[in-house]
Amino acid sequence: MHEFPSPLAPARVAVFDLDGTITRRDTLVPFLLGWIGQHPARAWCLLPLPVTVLGYALRILDRGGLKAALIRQSMGGAARGEVEAWAQAFSTQAIAERSLAGALAAIRRHREAGDYLVLLSASVDCYVPEIGRQLGFDETICTGLRWRADGRLDGKLTTPNRRGAEKRDVFESLRRRFPKAQFIAYANARSDLAHLVLADAPHIVNANRRTRAAARRLGIPADGWD
């Protein structure tokens, strides 16, 4: 969790998902592919990829295990300074090229209104906090990664994968921290409905037809961001 100076008791808290909500689609795979593009000698590390994907398909690995395996295979052993430099460059590029104008406008409106901004993502903390920082979020909560004692990336997860019920648990903890605040939440996936139902003003955005239908049954409005 990454926090920046904030009001002790904000009147409103706006919680944004990242992948598919602020950005057009997933950010982790482009982050990893971009890293390999800058370090082509590491491409051999992806040879076990088919076995990893098969493990997920056979439910030997869950989503968190798949995520950790992909990160270890592509970036394991990378120096922290190199990872931070790539995270900064990637975040700038992702905001400029992958983000949705409607999402950026919504973030800007909340920031100008003085709302406390939280970026809540299942993606990982080697780059998501930098996206949050560049977008002006007050706090970023995402999936944590382990670093070795020598300052190199291990890649194993240090937190639960922040998805579905885990996002709901984080959202509940935010509500306990700010019990008097009104909560507004934006997300795009069906798994996000678990925490959206806890918001005072939930919004499902950029969702597919089935997710929009499920949201309507819960009384959650569906929006689209260009």
CATH number at residue 65: 3.40.50.1000
At 2 the pLDDT is 58
At 27 the pLDDT is 97
Residue 113, both tokens: 């209104």
**Residues of the chain where predicted confidence (pLDDT) is lower than 50:** 4-5
Residue 103, both tokens: 């999402």
- Among 56, 10, 4, smallest CA distance to 182 is for 10
How many domains is the chain built from? 1
Residue 69, both tokens: 């395996």
Q: Domain range holding 78?
A: 2-223
Q: What does pTM read for this prediction?
A: 0.92
By residue count, the chain amounts to 226
Q: Are residues 186 and 201 in contact, defined by beta-carbon separation less than 8 angstroms?
A: no
At 143 the pLDDT is 97
- Dihedral sign for Cα 170, 163, 211, 206, please: positive
At 6 the pLDDT is 52
77-99 pLDDT per residue, tens: 999 999 999 999 999 999 999 99
